[in-house]
Amino acid sequence: MRNIVIILIIGLIAFGCIKEETKHADISFNVDETLLSSNITFPEVNLSFNPPSNWEEIDQEMLSIVQSKVIENQDSIVFNPLPIKIFMDMESSCTCFVSTFKSSLMAKDVIENYLNDFRLVNNEIELNEGSFSHNGIDFHQIVFNKEDFTSIKLIANTIDQKVFIIEYVVPTQYYEKELRSIESSIGTIKKIK
């Protein structure tokens, strides 16, 4: 686990420059567009990004099934994000979830409550947390291993107090191979005009 965190930190340093200008350390990423799919926009959260290449968007029927399952399980966790798009590499099972919250609370309260709930539910797992700013967006990041996969969650808000999560879930055996693609994908996250 510690190796993964060290790799991520080294990657952030090696592939980005850190500047102290915003609420969090500002990180810019060297984006390798050959590792990415085309740009996707999410008007509901004023966001766009490029998923890693070969991570294809799942069809609406499958997304609806996943959304239904999330809604069914929301009774125990108040601040459960609802996926609005899911991208998946069918060969490796690498998956990227783009989710948002249905809440009338202020964004900072949604983020704080979600993080508290997440920590409580996953108290047996070592969570590596940090914050950074990229393209004018302040992110809270959680990286963790669970069973045989690694997850990188990025939580933030862009406009009108809408909170979003982009989560990359990668089988541990593919993590090192996919890390550069994920970093490039993170580097494309930005607000849309």
Give the DSSP H/E element, type plus range, for residue 10.
helix 2-15
What are the pLDDT digits (tens) for 25-62?
888 888 999 999 999 999 888 899 999 999 999 888 88
The CA distance from 79 to 73, in Å, is: 11
Task: Give the per-residue pLDDT at 170.
Answer: 96
CATH of domain 2-191: 3.40.1000.10
Domain ranges of the chain: 2-191
pLDDT value at 2 more than 60: no
Does 189 or 75 have the greater pLDDT score? 189
The CA distance from 180 to 193, in Å, is: 27
Q: Sheet harboring 47-49: ordered strands across?
A: 40-42, 47-49, 190-191
Q: Are 190 and 135 in contact (CB under 8 A)?
A: yes
What are the pLDDT digits (tens) for 62-72?
888 888 877 77
pLDDT value at 16 more than 70: no
What are the pLDDT digits (tens) for 70-99?
777 665 455 678 899 999 999 999 999 999
Note the pTM of the prediction, 2 decimals: 0.82
Give one word for 76, left, alpha or beta, with left for phi > 0 and alpha for psi -120 to 50. alpha
The CA distance from 41 to 51, in Å, is: 11
Give the DSSP H/E element, type plus range, for residue 115.
helix 107-121
Task: Give the per-residue pLDDT at 5.
Answer: 39
The encoded tokens of residue 49 equal: 């990004």
Percent share of the chain, pLDDT over 70: 82
For residue 11, name the pLDDT band (cuts at 50, 70, 90).
very low
Q: Label each residue of 29-71 as H, E or C.
A: ECCCHHHECCCEEEHHHCEEECCECCCEECCHHHHHHHHHHHH
